[in-house]
A = this chain, B = another copy of it.
Amino acid sequence: MRESGREVNQLRKIEMVTNFTKHAEGSVLITVGDTKVICNASVEERVPPFMRGSGKGWITAEYAMLPRATETRNIRESSKGKVSGRTMEIQRLIGRSLRAVVDLDAIGERTVWIDCDVIQADGGTRTASITGAFVAMVFALGKLVDQGTLKKLPITDYLAAISVGVLPDGTEILDLEYAEDAIAAVDMNVVMTGKGEFVELQGTGEEATFSRQQLMKMLDLAEGGLKEIVEIQKDAISPYVDKLEIK
Contacts and interface: CB of A to CB of B under 8 A. Distances in A.
B40 A66 contact: yes
A24 B73 CA distance: 8
A120 B23 contact: yes
12 contacts: A21-B69, A23-B71, A27-B68, A40-B67, A67-B115, A99-B207, A104-B207, A198-B205, A200-B203, A201-B202, A201-B203, A202-B203
A119 B119 CA distance: 10
A120 B115 CA distance: 14
Contact of A82 (B21, B27, B81, B202): B81
A58 B202 CA distance: 23
Contacts of A42: 67-68, 73
A23 B69 contact: yes
Interface in A88-143: 88-89, 91-92, 96, 99-100, 104, 113, 115, 117, 119-121
Contacts of A99: 206-207
A235 interface: no
Interface of A: 21-24, 27, 34, 36, 38, 40, 42, 44, 62, 64, 66-71, 73, 76-89, 91-92, 96, 99-100, 104, 113, 115, 117, 119-121, 157, 188, 193, 196-212, 215, 219
Given A78-B76, A81-B81, A210-B197, A68 B40 contact: yes
A40 to B, nearest CB: 4
Contacts of A64: 76, 78
Given A68-B40, A78-B76, A21 B120 contact: yes
B83 A79 contact: yes
A211 B219 CA distance: 11
